Amino acid sequence: MFVVLRYSSSASLSQAHSINKVIYYQNNFCIDKKCLILDFLLCKFRKIPKSLGGISVSQTDTVDISAQSWTNNIWLKRFMTIAQFFFVLFLTFLGLLAITFFIGRVIPIDPVLAIVGDRATQELYDATREAMGLDQPLVIQFFTYVLDVFRGDLGNSASTGRLVIEDLKRVFPATLEMATIGIIIGVVLGVPMGVLSAANEGKWVDQIFRVLGLVGYSVPAFWLGLVGLALFYGHLGWVAGPGRIGIFYEGIVEPVTGLILVDSLLQGEWEIFYDAIHHLVLPAAILGFFSLAYIARMTRSFMLDQLSQEFVTTARVKGVPEYKVIWKHAFLPIRVPLITVIGLSYAGLLEGSVMIETVFSWPGIGNYLTVALLNADMNAVLGATLVIGAVFIFINKISDVLYRVLDPRSR
Amino acid sequence: MSNMTEWLLSDSPTSKGQAFAGRTWRMWLSLLGNPLAITGLIIVVVLVLMAAFAPLIAPYSPIGQDLENRLLPPSWQHWMGTDELGRDIFSRVVYGSRLTLMIVLLVAAISAPIGLVIGAISGYFGGWVDKVMMGITDIFLSMPKLIMALAFVAALGPGIENAIIAIAITAWPAYARIARAETLTFRNAEFIDAIKLQGASPARIIINHVLPLCTSSMIVRVTLDMAGIILTAAGLGFLGLGAQPPLPEWGAMISRGRAFILDQWWVATMPGFAIIVVSLGFCFLGDGLRDILDPKNEGKS
């Protein structure tokens, strides 16, 4: 295994055939002849296509080849995949922490001054500096920071006066609720739109959906929110205004899950449930529009890919009805990549909700972040960044690994 | 004229210049055949002209206040109405194109070269250099962009320069990925071997022979990303973290109009239309360029 992995960085195994290349490799990559011969044999026995010669093979490809040949044990392979997944996840989280640490501690010229103000006495200044641990070397500071975060200590918020972690726990469900409804709207509308587009490629349905999708890439979310408010709340009065719930209903429902739709249903408060839906529908629909644009576009391109395959032609020739060709033969295989796309856009919605929440005064994490930004409340800003970033990364990586687990070709 | 086209479309160009001119001419021809791309190109050209000749186009001063004429609806005197200080919104939108263009160009000028160099070095050297650099790139790539930009601006302080820096910090990883992928496709090509045997240093190879080959896919990607950059910059402006008043930045203008959205809708909506048109323009142009420059699409359609 070692040999192959070592080789994998330098591509094109079958180039070893030509003696010129051997010398060449020796000079440039310092690979010894034994290795080359071994790889040459591997090439022969594992039936690696010779066409690989001359074209560089990306690393994963080569490792895959070696993994097939060396570890045929499927359980070991799965274990390796999972171990690798957690390792990458861990490294990425550490990277996120490094970035927030950098933003919080390194960029500000003097974090102490930001807290005590420039009129503080020297003693107070020194004491604060020591309390913040700023007299320690940066590495130690970072280590302490990471430990604090893992203990759930994100510091105190300067504007609300509470622990940042408590604040975040309070506001996060509101964002989750909006993003979830948003993604449901996006999937329910986006997937059929993409399929329809692909089935009628080049026709007016396709053109309209494509332009709609492109608009989704070029409209500022906050602007669409404002226009939506002016139109559906101001002029038509179809939906409720900004906020999560009418002021009369504030505080009646006991927060159990924090999701107001679920809580009000659990406690049988139908009026509150309707009111909450009235408030939720517009921001969620706008958020959903952005995921819809992406989902429809990806569905379309996946479907086009499938519809050009030979088995689709075969099915058509056999006389399978067109709706069956589309929904059964072409659509079923794209479910797996679609899951990844949906996961990615769900993560994107959590991010997109920052703007929408600001426009709709939605008491979620995005609004919390922007309020903290305007108050220069760094602890809250970094805490919110960390939580959004962590959730974003987690969903991204999960949907990535889910793709590999669900796709039968990768087994 | 026919001589000229013949020279341009010649199958066997006699000089480097002729080959280059011929290639450009062919690209131009295929661009002409793509209506969406042409629409995009026109929009971008109009944007550039608007920015260049803003004082000639704008009928009023972008910052001159006229409190007697505040919050006027769109009319022949004021095409897009006036805002809460009586400033003509159309003039402000015209001048705002300068800011938008500046943001987009600076972000591209900062982030694309960084990504290009990191990706080319990573792809060319391979091994642990590649692993470390791509590891860092991947970490940046998996961060939520907008949130990162927000956090960076929070630390750097609001302002248009800091907004540009923050957006550039979040934009480079995608370019590094592309440059690496491009480099990998010809790292083991014969011509690179030939240069190597002539004794060229890695720096020379990367700068003279690897980077030029990465630029075309980079241009496509940057054009496609322009819409995203504009939206992020406008978002920062909307939150009060980007351009500061009285600068006529489109996002900041929408934010000012927020208070009047129910009664004086034009204050917030007009700059939004400008953002949409310009972003769409870059999207169309980028899509078109991708179709032309991407060799995978050649022969299709």
Helix (H, G, I), strand (E, B) or coil at A156: strand
d(CA A329, CA A309): 10
Interface test mutation site (partner B, options A222, A375, A388, A397, max chain B beta carbons within 10 A) = A222
What are the tokens at A387? 């939580």
Min distance B127 CA to chain A CA atoms (Å): 6
SS3 A163: strand
Considering only residues A383 and A7, tell me which one the structure prediction assigns the higher pLDDT. A383
Contacts A352 to B, Cβ<8 Å: 146
Which structure tokens are listed for B255? 């934010």
Q: Are B155 and A56 an interchain contact pair (Cβ–Cβ within 8 Å)?
A: no
Q: What is the CA radius of gyration of chain A?
A: 28
Q: Which of B8-17, B28-37, B248-257 has the highest mean pLDDT?
A: B248-257
Name residues 235-274 of chain A within 8 A of B (Cβ): none
pLDDT digits (tens, 9 = 90+) for A355-377: 899 999 888 899 999 888 888 78
pLDDT at A45 over 60: no
Q: Tokens standing for A228?
A: 């939506």
What does DSSP assign to residue A387? H
Across the interface, of A222, A348, A369, the residue whose CB is closest to B150 is A369
Report pTM. 0.80
Averaged pLDDT for residues A151-161: 81
pLDDT bucket at A27, cuts 50 / 70 / 90: very low
Search chain A and give the residue with CA nearest B231: A220
Helices (H) and strands (E) in chain B, counts: 13, 0
The CA-atom distances, in angstroms, between B107 and each of A80, B146, B179, B300 are: 40, 14, 17, 33
Mean local confidence (pLDDT), B119-134: 89
**pLDDT given for residue A29 in this prediction:** 37
* A383: nearest CA partner in chain B: B151
Yes or no, beta carbons of A378 and B154 under 8 Å apart: yes
By Cβ distance, the residue of B138, B154, B188 closest to A381 is B154
d(CA A280, CA A263): 15
B143, B185, B251 ranked by CB distance to A96: nearest: B143
Q: Which domains does chain A have, with CATH numbers?
A: 2-77 (no CATH), 82-150 (no CATH), 164-410 (1.10.3720.10)
User: How is B59-116 classified by DSSP, letter by letter?
Assistant: SS-SS---GGGTTPPS-SSSTT-B-TT--BHHHHHHHHHHHHHHHHHHHHHHHHHHHH
Contacting B residues, span 132-151, partner chain A, CB-CB under 8 Å: 135-136, 138-140, 142-148, 150-151
| Per-residue model confidence (pLDDT) at position B295 | 55
The domains of chain B, with CATH numbers, are 38-63+79-300 (1.10.3720.10)
Classify residue B50 as left (phi > 0), alpha (psi -120 to 50) or beta.
alpha
Preferred mutation among A218, A232, A290, A386 to probe B, highest tally of B CBs within 10 A: A218
Among A residues 16-55, those touching chain B with beta carbons less than 8 Å apart: 24, 28, 54-55
Q: Does the pLDDT at position B21 exceed 50?
A: yes
> How far, in Å, CA of B266 to CA of A78, rounded?
58
Q: What is the mean pLDDT of residues A89-94?
A: 88
Q: Tell me the three-class secondary structure of A213-257, residue by residue.
A: HHHHHHCCHHHHHHHHHHHHHHHCCCCCCCCCCCHHHCCCCCCCC
Contact residues on chain B for A104, CB-CB shorter than 8 A: 155
Nearest to A357 by CA among B2, B37, B235: B235
Is some CB atom of chain A closer than 8 A to the CB atom of B213?
Answer: no
Where residue B233 falls among pLDDT bands split at 50, 70, 90? very high
Whether A26 has a pLDDT exceeding 50, the answer reads no
Answer for the pair A164, A123: CB distance below 8 angstroms, yes or no.
no
**CB distance A352–B146 less than 8 Å?**
yes
pLDDT higher than 70, residue A51? no
B180 part of contact set with chain A, CB < 8 Å: no
Binary contact (A226, B276; C-beta < 8 A): no
Q: Is the pLDDT of residue A84 over 70?
A: yes
Nearest to A226 among B127, B227, B254 (CB): B254
The nearest CA of chain B is from the CA of A108 a distance in Å of 6
| Predicted local confidence at residue B102, as pLDDT | 93
Interface test with A, best of B141, B195, B197, B238 (most A CBs within 10 A): B238
Size of interface A-B (CB pairs under 8 A): 160
* CA A227/CA A400 separation, integer angstroms: 35
